[in-house]
Structure 1
Amino acid sequence: MKKKILATVGVVLGLSFLIAINTPASTKANSNLLLASVDWVQSQLNPLTTRVSTLEKQIKEQDALIKQLQKAVEEGGTVITPPTTTPTPPDNSTDLPSVVYTNANNVKVHSGATRNYKVLATFTANKALNVIDKHGSGTNLWYRVEVSSTVKGWIHSEDVTTTKPSTATPSSVVAKEALNIRKGATTSYASIELVAKGTSLKYISSFKNAKGETWYNVQSPKGNKGWVLSTLTEVR
């Protein structure tokens, strides 16, 4: 009986020794398995993180567009519905001029590409403006221009020219026939003074009206200021 007890104790001690020897190796294997699992999870999360960042960027862009449209409505302009496809970048081809020049006085730059939008600035003739984009075509063509380093706006193509004007400013306008100096730049305005053929008038500025007529703002020898039709005069 005593021998059996001693034998049993021996077996138990032997098993305990074997477990003590094998425990560190098992723990190391489990650690390696855990690290491998963490790496796999991380590899699955990285693409998801990238997609989330992309979606957040798109949401910010959409939010900025919504705020811009809301501002346009508040300013009384007509909302131009943005295209449903990806916007095309500004056209830098030869049909998009780099610079345009105002061709009359009182040329207005608007906050949007219609005359209903808020007026951002008004320029006299021969003002050079850098072009950064365009909208529409034909008689509905608008250019997006730099009003200043921080302000951009839209100007109608009929109010500008791509031909650089002469730097020389006319000093006088000579009447080619007897003509009326009028209060405004159309024949519907009343006459201020009738001048004879050959009268030299002091040149002040020019203006193109809604009919496409160019009128000169002048001062007569008597000191009267008004407007004369360009086709009836000669600029010197």
Structure 2
Amino acid sequence: MMKKKLIGAFATILGLSLIVSMFIPTSTKADSNLLLASVEWVQAQLNPLQTKVNTLEKQLADQDAMIKQLQKAVAEGGNVVVTPPTTTVPDGSTDSPKVVYTSASNVKVHSGASRDYKVLATFGADKALTVIDQFKSATGLWYRVEVSSTVKGWVFSGDVTTTKPTSYIPTNVIAKQAVNVRKGATTNYQSLELVAKGSTLKYLGSFKNASGETWYNVQTAKGIKGWVLSTLTEVK
């Protein structure tokens, strides 16, 4: 409706300017140019308004889609998880942090971006969570995080921090490629086991050798304890 009114107003102004110009004698050409300049000024004022109208229409379309999803969820007994529409984050960036850390002792991960959704998991302080996506709802910014390889959920941004806690102790080491688990913290030591890319190893500790390399002391799924080079892995 707003869009139609703006277009109608502009058409009326433009039409009047054309009609007036037909009856303006040559001697008043300067006045005619002034009138056309006024029309151009009005058009310049309408352009930003048109952009705002387009933005509002897009937001209304997103909200309408979300309402339909909610109606479907209610009709099916509330078992459908509504996917929020893509929304720009507060700082205007679409980038999400890769990892967040729980900043309280009782942080809940929900099935949707609201505390009203089912609780999927509860974590204590300093738990590292991998971020998949983010969404700004009416209650604030939420992060979609990976609880496990099969479970994903939403955590409120106010319950986590992007700063790694000084007291943070990793629990797992993930192999970024095929990695040798060695008997000691240098490549001179023999390999006890070759683990595949993506393997999860239990973190036991870390050590920096004389060459300045950081190695993680780990335990494999087979129960073998050894050392892996930090640059070939990541801790979680």
TM-score by length of 2: 0.35
- Structure number with larger C-alpha Rg: 1
TM-score by length of 1: 0.35
